[in-house]
Amino acid sequence: MNGKVLVFDSGMGGLTVAREIRAMAPGLSVDYAADSGFFPYGDKSDQALRERLPMIAKRLCEAAKPDVFVIACNTASTLALEEVRSALDIPVVGTVPAIKPAARLTRTGTIGLLATPGTVRRAYTAKLIDDFASQVRVIMHGSVELVRMAELIAAGEAVSLETFRSLQAPLFEAQGGDQIDTVVLACTHFPLVRGELAATVPHPVTFIDSGEAIARQTLHVIEGNAGSAVTESRVWLTSPPEQQTRLVEVSRRFGFHQAVYLKAE
């Protein structure tokens, strides 16, 4: 399969999605883009993100020239997928929190959803719960701190397990939280710390994320749109790479070797 995909997130989270895409279609050309100049998205206002996302998506696609744009970010996708689609003239694949599979999987009838505060308060998330999980109890918790910790862990820095225990504790301490048996990782950063989260849950749970589903959808879409010649795997940043040494290094480890600065302002 040929063609070129641009995988987009605020920071390192989308690398977990890029990894799934690459595993499924090794021949595909994949570039990565991180809106490092506006990171993190999870605590930004809806208005600020609505202004930012279509603009930055357009600029990135003009520069990277992909055949398909993948928003590998729940916070962005649940808010502005349609706005980004309207701004681009190529197919856009979004990220949907894995609420539907979680609702099918639960045996206790209670699922947890770990995300950013933005994703937790979205009408889009409420509608997903209404449509696919109305028969189960959904307990949500949003944390931008967990996003930051995921970036530190990905960069090989030390973060205590106690930190992960306390950052996810509100999910299990909420009313009915002791019944949670399935946790949706509704932020693409969180698979980076799946091990740390699994090691610090108060009782055993199954963690699920949407990485594989996004990859499958991306391949499905690109089948009909492939065209671009294969180029070197780049990572596009919206702040100077020399100020983003962690992100540049982690991207390199995920196979994105050439950092390019795209000035957004």
- The set of catalytic residues is 73, 187
Count of CB atoms situated within 10 Å of the CB of 56: 23
Task: Tell me the two tokens of residue 231.
Answer: 């180029």
Q: Judged by CB, which is closer to ligand DGL: 11, or 177?
A: 11
189 binds ligand DGL (CB under 6 A): yes
Instruction: Give the residue among 118, 36, 117, 115 at the shortest CA–CA distance from 76.
Output: 118
147 binds ligand DGL (CB under 6 A): yes
Least distance (Å) between residue 109 CB and ligand DGL? 26
Q: Are 37 and 264 in contact (CB under 8 A)?
A: yes
Q: Judged by CB, which is closer to ligand DGL: 42, or 91?
A: 42
Least distance (Å) between residue 125 CB and ligand DGL? 11
For ligand DGL (CB under 6 A), the number of binding residues is 18
97 binds ligand DGL (CB under 6 A): no
Q: Of 34, 144, 215, 250, which lies in the binding site for ligand DGL, with binding defined by CB under 6 A? A: 144
Q: Where are the beta strands (DSSP E) in the chain?
A: 4-9, 29-34, 68-71, 92-93, 110-115, 137-142, 182-185, 206-208, 234-237, 258-261
Q: Of 6, 8, 10, 209, which lies in the binding site for ligand DGL, with binding defined by CB under 6 A? A: 10
Query: Which one-letter DSSP state was computed for residue 14?
Result: T
The SS3 call for residue 237 is: strand
The C-alpha atoms of residue 196 and residue 199 are separated, in whole angstroms, by 5
Backbone CA torsion sign across 183, 189, 191, 197 = negative
Instruction: Give the residue among 187, 138, 185, 153 at the shortest CA–CA distance from 39.
Output: 187
125 binds ligand DGL (CB under 6 A): no
75 binds ligand DGL (CB under 6 A): yes
Least distance (Å) between residue 157 CB and ligand DGL? 18
251 binds ligand DGL (CB under 6 A): no
11 binds ligand DGL (CB under 6 A): yes
User: Which span sits near ligand DGL by CB under 6 A: 62-70, 121-129, 154-162, 187-195?
Assistant: 187-195
40 binds ligand DGL (CB under 6 A): yes
Residue type, 35: D
User: Which span sits near ligand DGL by CB under 6 A: 33-41, 98-106, 205-213, 250-258?
Assistant: 33-41
Class of residue 212 by CB neighbours under 10 A (exposed 0-12, middle 13-18, buried 19+): middle
Binding site for ligand DGL (CB under 6 A): 9-11, 13, 39-42, 73-75, 116, 119, 144, 147, 187-189
